[in-house]
């Protein structure tokens, strides 16, 4: 009886479980889906947790512990997000099975976020590993669907499924390793994670990700992380104002922070979309965003440290607070310079970004003279001046365009 109903209405069955087929990489008007945006929101919770822990450690003068924990935690967040994003760009069937497996990955992301404080403070990766494995098992199920249903993508699907499962087994084994072998295991597993896409994509037919869709997804996640910076900074400023009232230093930090967020947004979206013309360029471009996303979130933590120093509730020197803003900004500018050169888009004189990075680092040294607020505002003005110079130079010399085959 049930079999007869399904055969009588095949279109209804297809809505519940569609055949996993690669989407056309030349598909017009390809945009991020509401499900992808909801997925991003789960990850920004984890990003916020990582930035909060970095803020706490820097404020308490535990810089080494904080940076190592932040880099370690942020990798797991970024890598899980990146793997889903590229898979969805190639194989978004949007059927019930796809949505439920995505929901499972979102649940894993929230478990991962819950484990961030323990990982960032004591390097206890137990909860993070559980959340991470949940996410990766769901992705393995997606790749196995590809291997079964898409003849063209079968080789890559099998390689991805096998590679991910082997590495995830390694993450579970790492939990049992004694110290310091657990650190060695972590380094080995990070390298192994990065190698899986290289092995899967370059040993046969590459997956048919959509260049425009990938560029949009990364841009949207950049905006979300910038939004987290605004929210974290606003929360910190509100807390300081409720305890100490309005001060000149606080106003300068708020103004400088706003200029920084707006300038970073403009620099990222200046010029045409990235020309991801080859799998090699796309892989390098995608990997480099780990540094870019981490720098943006770390700048938010730095602004919070600056607020704490301004109201005398931090245990670090004022210069440390300004460097906590200047270093992430300099890193952002340098990564953006490299990304634009890699994809040949949107920047006439990359040296301007390098010069801007040097200037903001030098300005941090002026903290004893200008104070924390004065330096933060000066760094914001320097970043805006860097953007202005880049816009003028690009307009004067013409924006470099990608080759025809890349568009």
Least confident span in 175-184, 328-337, 342-351: 342-351
11, part of any domain: no
Same domain flag for 190 and 277: no
13, part of any domain: no
Same domain flag for 263 and 315: yes
Same domain flag for 198 and 287: no
Q: What is the CATH number of the domain that holds 287?
A: 1.20.1410
Cα angle 77-212-71, degrees, rounded to a multiple of 5: 20
* Mean pLDDT score, 196-213: 83
pLDDT at 407 over 60: no
Same domain flag for 100 and 138: yes
pLDDT at 348 over 80: no
23, part of any domain: no
Same domain flag for 228 and 329: yes
Same domain flag for 264 and 381: yes
pLDDT at residue number 9: 41
- pLDDT of 18-27, one tens digit each? 777 888 888 8
pLDDT at residue number 272: 66
pLDDT at residue number 319: 93
Report the percentage of the chain scoring pLDDT > 90: 54
CA distances (Å), 314 to each of 228, 237, 264, 305, in order?
A: 22, 14, 27, 7
Residue 335: is it exposed, middle or buried by C-beta count within 10 angstroms (0-12/13-18/19+)? Answer: buried
CA distances (Å), 298 to each of 127, 168, 340, 361, in order?
A: 23, 28, 22, 15
pLDDT at residue number 402: 44
106, part of any domain: yes
Three-class secondary structure of residue 366 per DSSP: coil
pLDDT at 5 over 50: no
Same domain flag for 325 and 393: yes
CA distance 392 to 348: 9
pLDDT at residue number 273: 67
| pLDDT band with cut points at 50, 70 and 90 for residue 405 | very low
pLDDT at residue number 212: 87
Please give the mean pLDDT across all residues of the chain.
86
pLDDT at residue number 333: 95
Half-sphere exposure of 74 (CA within 13 A, CB side): 25
Q: Are 93 and 21 in contact (CB under 8 A)?
A: yes
End-to-end CA distance of the chain: give it in Å, rounded.
52
12, part of any domain: no
Identify the residue with better confidence: 104 or 4: 104
pLDDT at residue number 181: 86
Number of separate domains in the chain: 2
Backbone angles phi, psi at 276, to 5 degrees: -90, 75
pLDDT at residue number 292: 96
| pLDDT band with cut points at 50, 70 and 90 for residue 346 | low
- pLDDT of 257-285, one tens digit each? 999 999 999 999 887 666 777 788 888 99
| pLDDT band with cut points at 50, 70 and 90 for residue 404 | very low
- pLDDT of 140-150, one tens digit each? 999 999 999 98
Closest of 338, 356, 358, 357 to residue 347, by C-alpha = 338
Same domain flag for 195 and 242: no
Kindly provide the residue ranges of all beta strands, DSSP E only, lying in 254-327, ordered along the sequence. Answer: none
Last residue of a domain, one of 173, 202, 231: 202
- The residues, any chain, with a CB within 8 Å of residue 175's CB and separated by 6 or more, are 125, 126, 129, 182
pLDDT at 12 over 90: no
pLDDT at residue number 8: 39
pLDDT at 295 over 50: yes
193, part of any domain: yes
pLDDT at residue number 352: 86
Last residue of a domain, one of 166, 182, 202: 202
Same domain flag for 248 and 363: yes
Same domain flag for 329 and 235: yes
Same domain flag for 270 and 148: no
8, part of any domain: no
Domain range for 263 is 211-406
| pLDDT band with cut points at 50, 70 and 90 for residue 4 | very low
- pLDDT of 45-73, one tens digit each? 899 999 999 999 999 888 888 898 899 88
Last residue of a domain, one of 202, 224, 239: 202
262, part of any domain: yes
pLDDT at 170 over 50: yes
pLDDT at 85 over 90: yes
Same domain flag for 185 and 245: no
- pLDDT of 360-388, one tens digit each? 999 999 999 999 999 999 999 999 999 99
Identify the residue with better confidence: 348 or 187: 187
pLDDT at residue number 279: 80
- The residues, any chain, with a CB within 8 Å of residue 240's CB and separated by 6 or more, are 250, 307, 308, 310, 311
pLDDT at 161 over 50: yes
């Amino acid at each position: 009886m049930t079999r007869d109903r399904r055969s009588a209405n095949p279109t209804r069955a297809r809505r519940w479980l569609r055949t996993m087929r690669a989407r056309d990489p030349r598909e017009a008007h390809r945009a991020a889906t509401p499900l992808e945006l909801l997925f991003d929101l789960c990850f920004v919770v984890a990003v916020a947790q990582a930035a909060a822990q970095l803020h706490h450690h820097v404020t308490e003068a535990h810089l080494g512990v904080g940076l190592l924990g932040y880099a370690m935690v942020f990798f797991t967040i970024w890598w899980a997000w990146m793997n889903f994003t590229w898979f969805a760009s190639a194989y978004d069937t949007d059927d019930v099975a796809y949505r439920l497996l995505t929901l499972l990955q979102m649940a894993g992301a929230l478990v991962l976020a819950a484990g961030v404080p323990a990982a960032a403070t004591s390097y206890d990766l137990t909860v993070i590993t559980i959340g991470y494995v949940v996410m990766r098992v769901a992705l393995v199920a997606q790749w196995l669907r590809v291997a079964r249903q898409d003849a063209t993508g079968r080789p890559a699907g099998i390689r991805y499924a096998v590679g991910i499962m082997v590495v995830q087994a390694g993450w579970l084994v790492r939990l049992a390793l004694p110290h310091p072998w657990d650190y060695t295991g972590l380094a080995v597993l990070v390298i192994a994670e990065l190698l899986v896409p290289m092995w899967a994509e370059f040993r046969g037919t590459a997956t048919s990700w959509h260049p425009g869709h990938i560029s949009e997804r990364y841009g949207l996640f950049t905006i979300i992380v910038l939004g987290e910076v605004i929210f974290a900074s606003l929360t910190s400023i509100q807390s300081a104002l409720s305890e100490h009232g309005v001060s000149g230093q606080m106003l300068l930090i708020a103004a400088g922070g706003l200029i920084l967020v707006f300038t970073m947004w403009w620099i990222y979206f200046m010029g045409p979309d990235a020309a991801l013309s080859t799998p090699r360029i796309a892989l390098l471009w995608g990997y480099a965003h780990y540094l870019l996303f981490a720098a943006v979130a770390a700048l938010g933590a730095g602004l919070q440290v600056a607020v704490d120093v301004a109201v005398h509730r931090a245990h670090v020197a004022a210069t440390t607070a300004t460097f906590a803003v200047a270093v992430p900004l300099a890193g952002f500018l340098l990564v953006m310079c490299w990304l634009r050169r890699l994809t040949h888009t949107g920047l006439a004189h990359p040296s301007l970004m390098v010069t801007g990075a040097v200037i903001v680092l030098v300005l941090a040294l002026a903290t004893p003279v200008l104070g924390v607020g004065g330096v933060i505002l000066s760094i914001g003005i320097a970043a805006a001046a860097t953007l202005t110079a880049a816009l003028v130079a690009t307009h004067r010399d013409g924006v470099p365009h990608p080759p025809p085959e890349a568009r």
